[in-house]
Amino acid sequence: MNPSAPAPHFNISDEFVSRPAREHPERIAILGVDREVTYGVLESEVNRVAQALRNSHCRPGDRVLLLLPDSLEFVSSFFGVAKMGAIAVPVNSMARAADYRHFLSDSGAAIAIVHWSVLADVLTAAANLPLARLVVAGGTRRAVEYMSRSVTHWLDWLPSDTRGVLSHQTSKTDPAFFLYTSGSGGTPKAAVHRHQDMLACSEGFAKGVLGLRADDRTYSVSKLFFAYGLGNGMYFPFSSGAATVLDPERPRADRAMEIVKRYKPTIFFSVPTFYAAILREAERGNVGDFSSVRFAVSAGESLPAEIFQRFRERFGIEILDGIGSTEMLHMFLSARPGEAKPGSCGREVPGYEARILDDRGRPAGNGDIGNLWVKGGSAFSEYWNLPELTQRAREGDWILTGDKFTRDADGFYHYCGRGDDMMKVSGMWVSPNEVENALLSHSAVAEAAVVARTDPVGLTRTLAFVVLRPGITQPAGGLDSEIHAWVHTRLVGYKCPHEIRVVSELPKTATGKIQRFVLRQPGKLG
């Protein structure tokens, strides 16, 4: 091979849309929207967006902000942007004007494609920013024009003729899209991903772990604008010519159970807190019908062993727990079908490597808590405009996850918590995840979160917040002492929380992760 030869052409629009459209144009690609969408129709819509962008003077390398619910418009916009060589920037469509301003300013987006429902906030956010074009999907032309004459309605923006729309000559290593981290502890930052990254995830997890087939239907509670949902609900099914079930609404347990019953997905993706919500819904009498589901997948946070066991008992399905990150795009550790071990997120996904190092950079022994580093073909190339942060997160091809883990003698990995969530009590490390699992094993507890606070003397005290299961009410004396005694039968003394408080709900990010940093602040939830 000539090392000076140009890299071969590769574009994710060709791989995930045009290829399946060429091979089976009449096969269903998208369900759950106003109509079923075939791969042939999807390719046509992608071509229309790509041509509309070119007509709008969008250039290769320009960033295009996407503020859209899970829909045909989201999918066609994402791949239409990639097709013409620009960079898609999908962001949380359930955020606020201040968040949108940060996304627009930080990414330097030249064009934004947004949904009608967030137009007012976007107009506020875009004030005095050099946004060349704002396109609005949804709503009516008249309503959009009433809001602002400077915006273009989706139906007026898309051309009718899509013949001869060719992909830009991108390579596997060219940037394709940004994904912003959830920002649960600070300002969201954009991880830059390349065209090859989706292919690596599809080969490693979708095919290597799940064995995704053309006759599968995927349904993801996590939305497309998150790294986890982007794979689950878009490029994973498209990689195998399968179908995806999309829901534009905010996730809700009863609605998700109805969607599963109606569209009969074969692979169901969610997060631990939502699995807990489904169990609570079932306890209220909504029996649900998961008979079509051959695999249920969990990520976002470690899946408590108690939820794993209760879900298996209720629905007969073994949840495959795994862990991924925005920086790695999707899963790098995962349980395997038939090999799931409660409380563990499995082993390395094919194509990925993992190692646990102590704070001095030395390999940790089996059972010892350390920092998890991972390596794989989907690793982000950089944080946008943050070179120093990029340098701290990367060591060659290895990525520091920021998570604390242990590995057992069988090679199974066990999540202990985020590095900043770990607690040192009486000079010994305590994993909040371990304490939360013990709390969840109590019959009255539906959700739990454990944090450390410093008392007036300067000593570390652990505080547990619990949400009770449906129908459970606190007696006059409270349940905290009973739960506290229960935990003492399962954990050594220094790991047991000093105080337990019953609350109605726990603060969470839009991805369903518990915001422990909120709970660590005095005055929050007591």
pLDDT tens digit sequence for 468-481: 988 887 765 577 78
Give residue 164's pLDDT: 77
Give residue 306's pLDDT: 87
Contact 49, 209 (CB under 8 A): no
The residue among 390 and 142 whose pLDDT is bigger is 390
Contact 436, 474 (CB under 8 A): no
Contact 269, 221 (CB under 8 A): yes
C-alpha 290: how far from chain center: 22
Q: At what angle do helices 272-283 and 305-315 cross, to 10 degrees?
A: 50
The residue among 178 and 467 whose pLDDT is bigger is 178
Contact 30, 244 (CB under 8 A): yes
Contact 178, 108 (CB under 8 A): no
Which residues are paired to 345 by β-bridges? none
Give residue 302's pLDDT: 81
**pLDDT tens digits, one per residue of 257-266:** 999 999 999 9
- pLDDT band, very low/low/confident/very high, at 489 (cuts 50, 70, 90): confident
- pLDDT band, very low/low/confident/very high, at 287 (cuts 50, 70, 90): confident
On the question of pLDDT at 2 being above 70, the answer is no
Contact 6, 170 (CB under 8 A): no
**pLDDT tens digits, one per residue of 23-35:** 999 999 999 977 8
- pLDDT band, very low/low/confident/very high, at 184 (cuts 50, 70, 90): very low
On the question of pLDDT at 240 being above 90, the answer is yes
**pLDDT tens digits, one per residue of 291-308:** 999 999 999 878 888 899
Mean pLDDT in residue range 248-271: 95
- Rounded to the nearest 5°, which phi and psi values hold at 396? 70, -125
Give residue 49's pLDDT: 98
- Rounded to 10 degrees, the C-alpha dihedral 338/340/346/348 comes to 10
Complete domains list, the chain, with CATH: 12-180 (3.40.50.12780), 251-376+396-416 (3.40.50.12780), 423-519 (3.30.300.30)
Q: Which range has the top average pLDDT, 67-71, 451-455, 518-522?
A: 67-71
Contact 192, 390 (CB under 8 A): no
The token pair that represents 409 in the structure block: 């003698």
Share of the chain above pLDDT 90, in %: 66
- Reading across the β-sheet that carries 133-137, which strands appear in turn? 152-153, 133-137, 111-115, 63-67, 87-90, 175-180, 190-194, 382-383
Give residue 189's pLDDT: 94
Mean pLDDT in residue range 222-233: 96
**pLDDT tens digits, one per residue of 126-153:** 999 989 999 999 988 888 877 777 899 9
Give residue 526's pLDDT: 53
How does DSSP classify residue 363?
B
Lowest mean pLDDT among 61-70, 84-93, 121-130, 159-168: 159-168
Give residue 426's pLDDT: 57
Q: Which residues of 292-308 are buried (b: 16+ CB within 10 A; e: fewer)?
A: ebbbbbbbbbbbbbbbb
The token pair that represents 377 in the structure block: 């073909």
On the question of pLDDT at 452 being above 60, the answer is yes
On the question of pLDDT at 5 being above 70, the answer is no
CA distance 325 to 181: 9
Give residue 523's pLDDT: 61
**Residue 285: which region, alpha, beta or left (left: phi > 0; alpha: psi -120 to 50)?**
left
Where are any strands of DSSP class E within 72-186?
87-90, 111-115, 133-137, 152-153, 175-180
With CA atoms as reference, report the closest residue to 104 among 48, 160, 64.
Answer: 64
Helix (H, G, I), strand (E, B) or coil at 311: helix
The token pair that represents 390 in the structure block: 């990029």
**pLDDT tens digits, one per residue of 50-77:** 999 999 999 999 999 999 999 999 999 9
Give residue 519's pLDDT: 86
